[in-house]
Amino acid sequence: MAKAEKPHSSVGRGARLPERRTAETRVRVELDLDAAREARIATGHGFFDHMLHAFAKHGRFGLVVEAEGDRTGPHHLVEDVAILLGESLLAAAGDKAGIERFGDIAIPMDETLVQVAVDFCGRGFLVFDAPETQEGETGLSIHLVHDFFYALSFHGRFNLHLRALTGRNPHHIIEAMFKGTGVALRRALAITGKGIPSTKGVL
């Protein structure tokens, strides 16, 4: 699967960027926007794996993530996976010809409701509004989740609004954010037309 191959086709849009290695982490990502298959996720962090699975499942993305963090806690790992995943989304979208561009959803999960909206416009921007919650059993703080989505939207160069309209359980709030971002990105990246969906002629 070549980087951003067949950008004009509704099938086969994918990205396999070089492995990212730093003194803190090692991350490898493969992403296929159109060929959903069982995700393969192994980051060494159980709840983060669960979130990436949820993102891939509801985005209907073929996603492989292999990552190793350091021993300082999950921050470096989570942020570096977001950087490479954002870069992969951008590469897989190619020249963005024919994409819907906008995608949104309100995702309920029991007591939680999260609103997600995406504009795949070439500009990274995050608006994140969620209550202060305890880390609890998830092992991911809401601050680190905020950092994940900041890096994802910045490196993917898309606008992302995430708003927890109501919610109490941090597992539900975070999971609804990952599911909803998968759905909103799937809708924004769906091929629904021809040409570049911008009056500027470029995205």
Q: Which residues bind Mn ion (CB under 5 A)?
A: 175
How many whole angstroms from its chain centre is CA 90?
A: 11
Q: How far is the CB of 50 from Mn ion (least distance, A)?
A: 6
Q: The tokens 């069982």 sit on which residue?
A: 38
For Mn ion, give the closer residue by CB, 87 or 175: 175
Q: How far is the CB of 97 from Mn ion (least distance, A)?
A: 36
Q: How far is the CB of 173 from Mn ion (least distance, A)?
A: 11
Q: How far is the CB of 26 from Mn ion (least distance, A)?
A: 26
